[in-house]
Amino acid sequence: MEAVISIGKKSIGLLLFVVCSIAIYDKVLVNENWSQYFSMIRGQLFSLPSYQWLVLLLLMCCNFFIESIKWKIVVGATNPISLLTSIKSVFVGQTFAFFTPNRIGEYAGRILFLDAGNKLMGMAQLGWASYAQLVITICLGAIAFALNISLYPWADGPWLIGVKLLSPFISIIAIFIFFYKRDWTGRMSFLNRMQIQPAVKWSMLGLSFLRYFIFMLQYVWVANMLKMNIEILPLVLSVSILFLCLSILPTISITELVVRGQLLLMILAPFYADKIMIISLSSFIWGINFLVPSIIGTFLLLGYRLNR
């Protein structure tokens, strides 16, 4: 059954990749001004002052530092690890996630650095940390979608009112599931050991919100680097909707570059018309948040294997 589900996710992800690739090719790459735009963007990026690149790098480091703190806290009760080990495991997890649907390989990368007897528990704890990030994504994304949905022609229809009414309830349900605790009995009693303390849950939510804020700063900063003439509020709302969509759609980090670009084209359409700049923004963020950390994680994984 698990094999069928895995194949299904990969097939859907591949289909999304193909459809979005065709859409981007049709809307962007066949543009007769593509070469001119590319030269302009390249010249613009090379002319940027060094501090702008340093800020972008700093934001990436903050992003993964916060995630490392989350990981250290959530596994602390059963398998205390140092902050350095936590940072290594987060980057190695990123490497494993790069090639797997919906980043499920991240579990395998993270638990490499845990003691043999705590690996199963570590997978459950990572599930809690990941779900905390998802709760923030659902709550803020649902609000942004409810505010912006009337601006999208492709979202027009009788279900428009329904989405606006359901958005708050979706957020409430996501939060309720996160904090709900049940004492399992019988054969399911082993699930009780996989629970985490309410204080840890609140820490996960707080750090997840902080990480979400860093993600937003990255988009705003890169848009500023590219000199995109777009207001901050529409950009933030659009990126919130993008995060919500990406959390639902089955993708692989490699193919997500294309899927992310096509989604951002659709979501930013009411606010910004330059498609090539939107693709550049999306590609920049993908590179700094996925490609670069995956490369770092590859070297850390090599060091881990050599030490073993």
Task: Please give the pLDDT value at position 29.
Answer: 46
Residue predicted with more confidence, 85 or 147: 85
Q: Is the pLDDT of residue 280 over 60?
A: yes
Stretch among 96-110, 172-186, 269-283 having the lowest mean pLDDT: 96-110
The three-class DSSP label of residue 101 is: strand
Entry pTM? 0.81
Task: Please give the pLDDT value at position 161.
Answer: 61
Residue 56 and residue 218 in contact, taking contact as beta carbons nearer than 8 Å: yes
Q: Is the pLDDT of residue 284 over 60?
A: yes
Q: Is the pLDDT of residue 238 over 50?
A: yes
Task: Please give the pLDDT value at position 58.
Answer: 95
Q: Is the pLDDT of residue 224 over 70?
A: yes
| 197: alpha, beta or left? (left if phi > 0; alpha if psi -120 to 50) | beta
AA identity, residue 64: F
Q: Is the pLDDT of residue 261 over 90?
A: no
pLDDT in tens, 137-177: 999 998 888 887 777 766 666 656 666 667 778 888 888 88
Q: Is the pLDDT of residue 136 over 90?
A: yes
Q: Is the pLDDT of residue 2 over 60?
A: no
Cα separation, 286 vs 279, whole angstroms: 10
Task: Please give the pLDDT value at position 250.
Answer: 66
Q: Residue 52's Cα: distance from chain center in Å? A: 23
Residue predicted with more confidence, 77 or 17: 77
Task: Please give the pLDDT value at position 177.
Answer: 85
Task: Please give the pLDDT value at position 13.
Answer: 43
pLDDT in tens, 24-58: 444 444 444 445 545 555 666 667 788 888 999 99
Q: Is the pLDDT of residue 133 over 60?
A: yes
Residue 254 and residue 98 in contact, taking contact as beta carbons nearer than 8 Å: yes
Task: Please give the pLDDT value at position 151.
Answer: 73
The three-class DSSP label of residue 252 is: strand
Task: Please give the pLDDT value at position 239.
Answer: 92
Residue 152 and residue 270 in contact, taking contact as beta carbons nearer than 8 Å: yes
Residue predicted with more confidence, 253 or 118: 118
Half-sphere CA count of 25, side-chain side, radius 13 A: 6
Task: Please give the pLDDT value at position 10.
Answer: 46
Cα separation, 231 vs 248, whole angstroms: 27
Residue predicted with more confidence, 190 or 146: 146
Cα end-to-end distance, the chain, whole Å: 34
As a whole number, the mean pLDDT across the chain is 78
> Tokens for 218?
């990255």
